[in-house]
Amino acid sequence: MKKDAVRKPDESKIASLVRQLLVELGEDPEREGLLKTPMRVAKSLSYLTQGYRQTPRGVLNNAVFDAGANHMIVLRGIEVYSMCEHHLLPFYGTCAIGYIAKDKVLGVSKLARIVDVYARRLQIQERLTEQVAAAVRDAAKAEGVGVVFTCRHLCMMMRGVEKQNSEMTTSAMLGSFREDEKVRQEFLSFV
């Protein structure tokens, strides 16, 4: 196994832990509706955290192309689903990514795949935003990158302050997107 690779979770071990959790919550894991729940949860968690077993380079799969252009490329409306590392509750929303290509452009679907690499981990939105921006910059060798996430957090909606309509917006601006106000404003006008 590679030094930085993470092994696939032991789903049977997770299922056993979920069964114990059900008992602690006062449930009977032997009742009909819960018989298969521990393994369902284990498989779900394995899927929802698959980003630990992926890298941006792996999902790019060499889809970096010569473009010979120096212009802004923007993809918006990328659906994102992640899990809050503080409460293990979902947060979801959209992401917009913009970058200024030098000589190379990324395959358009690869931008969404980079988002998923980091979203499919236990996360906070602030870190997720920074990770995606850095990964796009590094993959495209871009002169500048802008990333904006707007998400709703179930930890804010279902518990705690219970604010149903709250949305959090985070942004990361790198290179020319940070240094040049006109570039930043152009990107923000698109998103």
Q: Where are the domains of the chain?
A: 11-48, 56-190
What one-letter code names the amino acid at 155? C
> pLDDT, tens digit, for every residue of 63-98?
888 887 778 999 999 999 999 999 999 999 999 999
Alpha carbons 191 and 98: distance in angstroms, whole number: 9
Residue 4, pLDDT score: 54
For residue 47, the one-letter residue type is: Y
Contact (Cβ atoms closer than 8 angstroms) between residue 1 and residue 7: yes
- Give the pTM: 0.93
Q: Is the dihedral of CA 25, 30, 33, 35 positive or negative?
A: positive
* CATH class of the domain defined by 11-48: mainly alpha
**Class of domain 56-190 (CATH, top level):** alpha beta
